[in-house]
Amino acid sequence: MLFTPICPYSLSFKPVILPDSARLELNIPDDGRSNVWVSFDGKRQQQLLRGDSLHISMSEHPLPTVNKSDQTGNWFRSLIRCLNWNERLDEKAL
């Protein structure tokens, strides 16, 4: 499952790939400043009101993919390493 923040507040927020067993719950606070909009697969949009919640889990009909890597390793550590999350890269002088 791919969870992608659109226009995040901080540039350190990156898309997150979650295992198929993950279940997410997003809650809109009752005292929030405004309602929010969510988009599903970039197509359908839905407004969520204050006090609403959204439960996200993997579909019962997943899209098969191929994974050549060792599945016993640390899932998140390998993502952090491969995607350079929250790492500052040194730039060469001009």
pLDDT at site 34 = 86
Distances in Å between the Cα of 9 and the Cα atoms of 66, 82, 94 are 33, 23, 30
- Within a domain: residue 90? no
Residue 50, domain extent? 23-59
> Is 1:20 a contact under the CB 8 Å cutoff?
yes
Mean pLDDT of the chain: 81
Tell me the whole-structure pTM to 2 decimals: 0.52
Long-range contacts of 66-71 (CB under 8 A, 24+ apart): none
Across the range 39-58, mean pLDDT stands at 87
pLDDT > 80? residue 55: yes
**What is the count of structural domains for the chain?**
1
Task: Work out the pLDDT band at 47, boundaries 50, 70, 90.
Answer: very high
Task: Work out the pLDDT band at 53, boundaries 50, 70, 90.
Answer: very high
pLDDT at site 71 = 62
